[in-house]
Amino acid sequence: MLNSMSRNIKILFAVFSILFLSLIAYLSYFQLYEKNKLITSSYSVYNKRLIEQEKKILRGSIYDRNGNVLAKSTIVNGEQIRQYLDGVPFANIIGYSRRIYQQGSTGIENTYDRELLGMINTDPMTFLRETVLGKSQTGDDVVLTVDKRLQDLAYNLLGGRKGAVVALNPKTGEVLALVSSPSYDPNTLGEKWNSTMNSPDHLVLNRATQGLYPPGSIFKIVTASAALTYKPDIYNQVFNDTGYVIVDGNKITNYKSIAYGTIGFQKAFYVSSNTSFVKIGLQIGRNDLESMADKYGLNESVPFDISVAKNQFPSIPLIGGKVQLAESSIGQGKILVTPLTMALMASAPANGGVIMKPYLMDYVKNPVTGEILEKTTPEKYLNPISKDVADKIKQLMIGVVQQGTGTAAQIPGITVAGKTGTAENPQGQAHAWFVGFAPAENPKIVVAVIVENGGSGGAVAAPIAREIIRAYLGY
């Protein structure tokens, strides 16, 4: 045989050796790195092995801030059963798990799925080995910031009407209550899947985070913020309120067309004068109003533990946008916001101009040892206004409750600050809005209430907020 061929064959041997070794190298790489991704990523939905193994894990419980059990798992006849102890009022927060209904997951059950399965801080190798060995595992417990008492109260106050309530601590962003009404019972969701999912009342829509509504007059907080920040002299202007104003041929009226005569900025805010605020908005101009709306997060999705809808503040066209600017100044037109966002908006004046990032999960703990495995630390989310402007708006909101449209929110012994809204909408009667906080000197709770097609914000929404504040502060 030719020498050259013998050399070539040896080269081929080297090539094949490299090919075989690369297989071994890739397998090692796969087992060391890629594999972990497979077990913990969302793709694991398709891994029937994990689903089999997860059935053996006793899913963790969910608690409210005071240690009340909201969801727990028990074994009945060898089958794991998930119980929701305060099912209906909490359904929009806690949601359900595909591991129970096989059809998608929502809410806390979805977001903290891995925690509830005890898969955090456990390396996948140990996890697999333990499950293969048949050791029964327990998941970790999730403790929420929500107060069961407030949640139940708020749900009952809505009394089956369509609407939402959001209550939070403005200093930390802890969500104290997040109610969507009407709701469904997750304990019987399996049997009533179709009727629940296709309900004309949209039972599974979380109105507090996914409902998009025109804000109406509560948006005047943003307009006032823009005025005080960009055109401070507006604060001292005087307006002639005739009950209506005409912008490019369009007539915009006050609520019930009441004419307030000659009024200052403060009075215009207390009585929620549309006529004056349209004039204010036109002075601020589209750039500054849009800029302030952006600072309040009205063009984004709020970062949150459960899914939220994106707020919408469409930009106002430079040419021919005068009517839209006028409507936007009083929270009408094309603006759409979620109740959660409105609670955050009201927390800016309550917290010196800073909006804290809202959160539902306080901490995750090991049910046996009590060891805290994850803990949310409060963090700043937005800072739309200065401390100075925040204090001025707070004073304006105190005036609303003391002598304006929000007197129904008064509580003897506590200074409540607030703003009402009565948002016109194409669906029928106006939506009743109220946002407010208390005690005004040292705010501990911010509340946003909406009752769909409820009518006047001052008459319908403000009393609900009052009861929630009263219950929380213990008056």
Partner 1 sequence: MEEYVKTGSKAMKDIFLIFVIAFMLLFIYHKPKGFDTIYFTLAFLPLIYIVYYLHVRLFPMGEIQLIILSSFLAEMGLIMIYRVAPDLILKQIAWIFIGFILYFVSSYVSKYYDFFYNVKYGNYVYLAISFILLFSTFVLGKEIGGSKNWLTFGSISVQPSEIVKIIYIIFLARYLKDNKTTKDIIKVGAITIVIVGILVIEKDLGTALLFYLTTTFMIFAATSSLLYTTASVAFLGFGGGISYFLFNHVRVRIQAWLNPWMDVPGKTYQIAQSLFAIGAGGFFGTGLGMGHPEYIPVVASDFIFSAISEEFGMLGSVAIILVYFVIMYRGIKVALDAKDDFGALIAVGLTSMFSLQVFTIIGGVIKFIPLTGVTLPFVSYGGSSMVMSFITLGMLNGIAVREDEDVEQYEPQH
Distance set, CA 69 to CA 142, 143, 148, 450, 452 (Å)? 10, 9, 9, 28, 31
Rg of the chain on CA atoms, in Å: 28
Rounded to an integer, what distance in angstroms lies between the CA atom of residue 84 and that of residue 101?
Answer: 14
Distance set, CA 67 to CA 61, 83, 293, 377 (Å)? 11, 16, 38, 19
CB-based burial label for 149 (10 Å; 0-12, 13-18, 19+): middle
Q: Which two tokens stand for residue 174?
A: 């802890």
Q: Which residues bind partner 1 (CB under 8 A)?
A: 1-2, 4-13, 15-17, 19-20, 22-24, 26-28, 30-31, 34-35, 38-39, 43, 46-49, 52, 125, 128, 132
Q: Minimum distance from CB of 21 to partner 1 (Å)?
A: 8
Q: Minimum distance from CB of 136 to partner 1 (Å)?
A: 17
Beta carbon nearer to partner 1, 43 or 475 = 43
Q: Minimum distance from CB of 130 to partner 1 (Å)?
A: 13
- What sign does the CA torsion over 63, 64, 67, 69 have? negative
Q: Minimum distance from CB of 468 to partner 1 (Å)?
A: 45
In which element (H, E) is residue 6 found?
helix 3-29
Is residue 136 among the annotated active site residues? Answer: no
Q: Of the residues 97, 181, 217, 273, which is catalytic?
A: 217
Beta carbon nearer to partner 1, 17 or 66 = 17
Rounded to an integer, what distance in angstroms lies between the CA atom of residue 224 and that of residue 227?
Answer: 5
Q: Minimum distance from CB of 4 to partner 1 (Å)?
A: 5
Beta carbon nearer to partner 1, 15 or 259 = 15
Rounded to an integer, what distance in angstroms lies between the CA atom of residue 165 and that of residue 418?
Answer: 15
Q: Minimum distance from CB of 253 to partner 1 (Å)?
A: 56
Are the CB atoms for 353 and 341 separated by under 8 Å? no
Rounded to an integer, what distance in angstroms lies between the CA atom of residue 236 and that of residue 259?
Answer: 20
Beta carbon nearer to partner 1, 5 or 76 = 5
Beta carbon nearer to partner 1, 47 or 287 = 47
- What sign does the CA torsion over 215, 216, 221, 224 have? positive
Can you give 164-211 as a three-state secondary structure string?
Answer: EEEEECCCCCEEEEEEEECCCCHHHCCCCHHHHHCCCCCCCCCHHHHC
Beta carbon nearer to partner 1, 53 or 110 = 53
Rounded to an integer, what distance in angstroms lies between the CA atom of residue 277 and that of residue 328?
Answer: 10
Q: Minimum distance from CB of 193 to partner 1 (Å)?
A: 21
Are the CB atoms for 257 and 283 separated by under 8 Å? no
Helices 462-473 + 148-158 axis angle, to 10: 160
Rounded to an integer, what distance in angstroms lies between the CA atom of residue 348 and that of residue 326?
Answer: 24
Q: Minimum distance from CB of 99 to partner 1 (Å)?
A: 17
What are the start-end ranges of the E strands in 411-468?
417-425, 428-438, 445-451
Are the CB atoms for 398 and 408 separated by under 8 Å? no
Which of the residues are catalytic? 217
